[in-house]
Amino acid sequence: MPLVPLNITIENGKPSLIPEAVKVKAQELRENVLRKNGEEKKIEREREKERIRAGKELLEAKQILEENERRRMLALRQAEKEEEKKAREKIRQQLEKDKEERRRMLGLPPADPKAVKVTKPPPQEKNRSLPVKPATKAERIRDCLRSLKKNHKDEDVRVKRAFQTLLIYVGNVAKNPDEEKFRKIRLSNPTFQDRVGSLKGGIRFLELCGFEKLEGDEYLYLPRDKVDMVVLKTAGLELNAAITNPFFGVF
């Protein structure tokens, strides 16, 4: 049987869009995209503004903290200067007091810093001199400490340690006068030699406090009946002054 050609046209069930509708649809899509992009840019701008604002606030807070810290440090330094000034003034007053006390002990008239003109004594008094009183035990103890410091002026650490060690010796005897172990010191003891014995004036100070050399200069010994609490207290006060006063022995 011969084949017969058939012309069959299959049509789409949906009608095709006309050109105007396509243009409208495309325009709507473009507008939606532009609108979306615009909103995103607006949101980004708002976020950027927020970041800038937060950055400014953080910077201002940091500057305030730094300014407060600077003011606190200035106030602290000012307070330290005031304390140092007060300490120096206190030391100066103590030095003046020590000078006046020394003049009083020597029987000299009080120093008058306001006096500018020095009057000459009458002719009949030219050859007269004021009676010089013997130095008291306190003065001899103070002079001994000053000499010790001057003899070792470049060894401040050793001198201070010697003063502290002597204060311990004196304090132990004052607190325990009946304990012989505190009233007897072996001169050959390495610790004693290192801290006191090797410094010129160290043993002399203990002798002024009542210690005596015994048994061929092997020991320093303070007999119980020669323990003088007044002398020991004076020695302790002088040692404390020598330790705490940075100008001790300088003048």
Answer whether 166's CB lies under 8 Å from 206's CB: yes
Mean pLDDT, rounded, of the chain? 81
Q: Residue 74's pLDDT is what?
A: 77
Report the alpha-carbon distance of residue 246 to residue 244 in Å, rounded.
6
Q: Which of 236, 232, 167, 218 lies closest to 196 in space, CA to CA? A: 167
Sorted by where each begins, the domain ranges of the chain are: 20-110, 134-244
The H or E element containing residue 211 is: none
Q: Residue 189's pLDDT is what?
A: 94
Report the alpha-carbon distance of residue 167 to residue 187 in Å, rounded.
17
Sequence length of the chain is 251
Q: What are 82-138's pLDDT values in tens digits?
A: 777 877 888 888 888 888 887 777 767 776 655 444 455 555 544 455 555 567 888
Q: In sequence order, what are the residues at sequence separation of 6 or more whose Cβ sits closer than 8 angstroms to the Cβ of residue 241? A: 94, 248
Q: Residue 117's pLDDT is what?
A: 47
Q: Which of 173, 175, 165 lies closest to 224 in space, CA to CA? A: 173
Of the listed ranges 21-35, 158-172, 188-202, 234-248, the one predicted with least confidence: 21-35
Q: Residue 4's pLDDT is what?
A: 57
Q: Residue 15's pLDDT is what?
A: 53
Q: Phi and psi for 239 in degrees, rounded to 5? A: -65, -40
Distance set, CA 206 to CA 56, 145, 161, 213, 238 (Å) = 72, 11, 15, 10, 13
Q: Residue 124's pLDDT is what?
A: 53
DSSP string covering 59-119:
HHHHHHHHHHHHHHHHHHHHHHHHHHHHHHHHHHHHHHHHHHHHHHHTTPPPP-TT--SPP
Q: Residue 22's pLDDT is what?
A: 81
Give the count of alpha carbons within 13 A of 23, CB side only. 3
Q: Residue 122's pLDDT is what?
A: 53
Query: Considering the entire predicted model, what is its pTM?
Result: 0.48
Higher-confidence residue of 194 and 44: namely 194
Q: What dotted CATH number matches 134-244?
A: 1.20.58.2190
CA 138 to chain centroid: 33
Q: Phi and psi for 210 in degrees, rounded to 5? A: 115, -5
Report the alpha-carbon distance of residue 182 to residue 170 in Å, rounded.
9
